[in-house]
């Protein structure tokens, strides 16, 4: 599966869960799968294999990853020692595009990825245009000087919405800092990473 660029609500309905936490979710009025036969879809017993695959797909959709990139992060998480599932979630959260979003410097995770790939973001004063760049504790992530009037950046900054406690943000300077490695309980993304690890380790 390549990076998903389609409608978010369709994905939420597919997994029967508001994956992106959007305020307007169709699940209240359409609690069934999308498509012509969504109402008639049988919800039989799901195997452990399918549960793991579903949880993996959730993470891939949310963090906008291709299969190869996701597997690479899994291998890195597995080599770190300790809890592989928590390591994986920490690596996903510390991706540059996600950090820009969590710091409230972009209105959505998609727009954050676009800001990174178009060269509007700098880390410790140097331009970084790789969404996969892993931010370390103490790294300063900011909007480049020539990009500070970007409409999406200005709209996001006006909301002053740094959504997690492991980042510190200066909305006047349009920059933030990762102040600690995120703990799993503080990461907003809802997924069962244990099932993901079991699925990937088969």
Q: What pLDDT score does 134 carry? A: 98
**Would residue 1 count as lying in a domain?**
no
**Would residue 173 count as lying in a domain?**
yes
Residues 81 and 146 in one domain: no
Instruction: Determine which of 5-9, 36-40, 104-108 has the lowest per-residue pLDDT on average.
Output: 36-40
CA 180 centroid distance within chain: 18
pLDDT tens digits for range 156-171: 999 998 879 999 999 9
CATH of the domain at 82: 1.10.1050.10
* Host domain of residue 109: 95-180
Residues 127 and 61 in one domain: no
Q: Residue 65 corresponds to which tokens in the numbers above?
A: 């990853």
Residues 71 and 85 in one domain: yes
pLDDT tens digits for range 66-77: 999 999 999 999
**Would residue 2 count as lying in a domain?**
no
Please tell me whether residue 21 adopts helix, strand or coil conformation. Answer: coil
- How many domains does the chain fold into? 2
Sheet harboring 167-170: ordered strands across?
126-127, 121-123, 140-143, 175-178, 167-170
pLDDT > 80? residue 100 = yes
Write down the pTM of the prediction.
0.82
Residues 175 and 136 in one domain: yes
């Amino acid at each position: 599966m390549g990076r998903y660029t389609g409608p978010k609500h369709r994905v939420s309905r597919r997994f029967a869960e508001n994956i992106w936490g959007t305020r307007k979710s169709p699940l209240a009025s359409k609690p069934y799968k999308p498509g012509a036969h969504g109402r008639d879809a049988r919800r039989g017993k799901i195997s452990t294999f399918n549960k793991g695959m579903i949880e993996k797909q959730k993470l891939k959709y949310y963090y906008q990853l291709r299969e190869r990139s996701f597997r690479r992060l899994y291998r890195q998480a597995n080599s770190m020692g300790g809890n592989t599932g928590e390591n994986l979630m920490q690596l996903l959260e510390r991706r540059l595009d996600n950090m820009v979003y969590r710091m409230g410097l972009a209105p959505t995770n998609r727009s954050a990825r676009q800001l990174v790939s178009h060269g509007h973001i700098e880390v410790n004063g140097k331009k970084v245009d790789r969404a996969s760049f892993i931010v370390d504790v103490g790294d300063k992530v900011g909007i480049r000087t020539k990009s500070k009037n970007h409409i999406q950046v200005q709209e996001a900054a006006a909301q002053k919405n740094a959504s997690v406690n492991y980042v510190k943000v200066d909305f006047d300077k349009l920059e933030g800092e990762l102040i600690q490695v995120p703990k799993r309980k503080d990461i907003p993304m809802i997924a069962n990473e244990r099932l993901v690890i079991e699925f990937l380790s088969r």
